[in-house]
Amino acid sequence: MDRAFTAAAAALVATFMLAWVSAKEDAVANPNEPVQTLAQTVATNDI
């Protein structure tokens, strides 16, 4: 694997992990609101 490709892949995974964690935290903080999809989370947050 090329190092640049590996670094880019790791950054992408980290970004989606952060989005997933923030979505879970939102769901815990606001249990009455509908759960956002990952795509909605990414679209509505500047990551």
Q: Is the pTM of this model over 0.85?
A: no
Token pair 């947050």 is found at 45
Backbone angles phi, psi at 14, to 5 degrees: -60, -40
CA distance 15 to 42: 9
Tokens, residue 27: 């769901």
Whole-number pLDDT of residue 6: 92
In single-letter form, the type of residue at position 38 comes to L
15 contacts: CB under 8 Å, gap ≥ 6: 47
Please list the rounded mean pLDDT of every run of 10 residues in the chain (47 residues): 87 87 76 68 67
